[in-house]
Amino acid sequence: QVQLVESGGGLVQAGDSLRLSCAASGRTFSSYAMGWFRQAPGKEREFVAAIGWSGSSADYADSVKGRFTISRDNAKNTAYLQMNRLKPVDTAVYYCAVTFRIRVPRDPYEYDYWGQGTQVTVSS
């Protein structure tokens, strides 16, 4: 079992930055890859970014590449999503998730545990 708790969401203006955190507990944090997803009202959950267990590999959706950075601190059992130059289209509930697969997938169905989500709202 893995428990995940996201934090750091909020209401910001376009162009601002936010850093989301995902605190994990349960199984050894460095044994799994982590991903961030988001879901806007009326839309499907979409992949944002993912990072391997060691932090040496990362993948980003084209829509956030160059603006968002995923990272992890295995000593603190925490993953982060630094979001810069936010746009109104980034407005969504953001979820972190865990996968035990070796590769870093984009498909949400390949993730095993999920947090409860944190709301990010970007005003124009």
Q: Which stretches of the chain drop beneath a pLDDT of 50? A: none
Check if the beta carbon of residue 4 is closer than 8 Å to that of residue 22: yes
The pLDDT value recorded for residue 64 is 98
pLDDT tens digit sequence for 77-111? 999 999 999 999 999 999 999 998 888 899 999 99
Closest to 120 in 3D by CA, of 23, 7, 34, 42: 7
The pLDDT value recorded for residue 4 is 96
The DSSP bridge pattern shows strands 18-26 and 2-7 to be antiparallel
